Chains A and B, each alone.
Chain A
Amino acid sequence: MNTYTLIISIAIITYVLRVGCWLGNVRGAGWLERYLRAVPLTILAALIFPAVLVRDGGLRIDLGNVYLLAGLLTAFVAWRSRNAILTITVGMVGIILLKLTI
């Protein structure tokens, strides 16, 4: 199979997965909506935990893991301040300073 044919196949499959239920007649049944309300939380967890806990393919729950330290700092500032701009600024300055020092 030609590489471009393969890329087009992947692109079509990915697009169909994205568009399918929007164009299809999948009715937002009450019970389904009720259970889908957890989806954003699960995706946030899945994007955060591995990104801060797994480095170079290994689990790193220790004080030498700057991503874990910066993640905890970010979570603390987010919890106390409830201010997105402040939180993200502190988190990013934090990771850069941590990388410079550790």
Chain B
Amino acid sequence: MNTWKDSFREGIMLTLPLFLGAVPFGLAYGIFARACGMSFGECTFMSATVFAGTAQFAAVNMLYEGTMPLTIILVTLIINTRHVPMALSLKPYLAGLRRPALAIAAFGLVDESYIVAIDQFQRKGEGDFPFFIASAVTMYIAWLGSSVAGYLMGSGISDPLAWGLDFALPCTFICILISRLDSLRTVVIVVISGAVATGFALSSYSGAGLLAAIFSGVIADMLLFRQSGVEEAT
């Protein structure tokens, strides 16, 4: 059994590459929000309370274009609905936790902390609450800190997405993905979800890409691999 401190440290260590990878996106968000005429308070308040990069970029862009508030809310709702299947798949590993603990942890459920945590939990076969909290806090610091820095520096820094540091996110995800490809089933799911997400990224509905990829991958799994055993490693 790991102690609380060991779990927390491990959560930070495994999230560090994603911390670095998120920084250029946070900087880009701060720069973008400032260019779109948001105040420093609005930009920072949004990162602190929403904590969801894609939705924030979309919302700032729509605010700038004068989109109706109800439309902005609906679009962010669609972008963030992906958190529902993410939360559902993590739920079995957090059973037994008390509601206040779950209520706090849920705020830190982002793509990066989800992937790091579910990968760890599925490999170990059990949940680890401090590990998840450590991953979430690490990502929160990365996102809030870099969005503040991006706003303050504004266009004084050249496009942070062009440095190559933005590759730290896909690089880490590729590393995790390769370790999980162990059957025809896993490869088929990845190819289908990846193709759907790429198609959405090329369209004007890129925000819905993740949600569409989850649905298409899970439905493909249901239709093509219905009979494969539940015990098979994912």
Name A's B-contacting residues (CB within 8 A).
Answer: 1, 3-4, 6-11, 13-15, 17-23, 26, 28, 30, 32-54, 57-59, 67, 70-71, 74-75, 78-79, 82, 84, 87-88, 91-92, 95-96, 99
Contact = CB atoms under 8 A, between A and B. Distances in A.
Contact of A41 (B50, B73, B177, B230): B177
Given A40-B119, A88-B171, A54 B202 contact: yes
A28 B92 contact: yes
B194 interface: yes
A70 B49 contact: no
A70 B221 CA distance: 29
7 contacts: A7-B46, A14-B55, A22-B105, A28-B88, A38-B217, A45-B193, A46-B214
A45 B164 contact: no
B170 A51 contact: yes
B219 to A, nearest CB: 9
B221 A58 contact: no
B57 interface: no
Nearest to A80: B178
B63 A45 contact: no
B118 A40 contact: yes
Interface stretch (B3-11, B77-85, B139-147): B77-85
Nearest to B171: A91
A26 B91 contact: yes
Given A21-B88, A41-B177, 18 more contacts: A7-B46, A10-B46, A17-B81, A21-B91, A22-B106, A37-B234, A40-B234, A43-B86, A43-B210, A44-B173, A44-B180, A46-B214, A49-B193, A67-B167, A70-B167, A71-B170, A75-B174, A88-B172
B76 interface: yes
A7 B73 CA distance: 9
Most buried by A among B52, B164, B220, B234: B164
Contacts of A17: 77, 80-81, 83-84, 87
Interface of B: 17, 38, 42, 45-46, 49-52, 55, 59, 63, 69, 72-73, 76-77, 80-89, 91-92, 94-95, 99, 102-103, 105-107, 109, 111, 114-115, 118-119, 122, 164-165, 167-180, 186, 189-198, 200-202, 206, 209-210, 213-214, 216-218, 220-222, 230, 234
Given A7-B46, A35-B222, A47-B169, A21 B176 contact: no
Identify the interface centre among A33, A58, A87, A96: most chain B CB within 10 Å of its CB: A87
Contacts of B106: 15, 18-19, 22-23
B177 A11 contact: no
Please list the 9 inter-chain residue pairs (A to B) with the smallest Cβ-Cβ separation, ordered nearest first.
Answer: A42-B217, A49-B194, A46-B213, A19-B106, A50-B201, A46-B197, A91-B171, A11-B49, A78-B178
B22 to A, nearest CB: 12
Contacts of B46: 7, 10-11
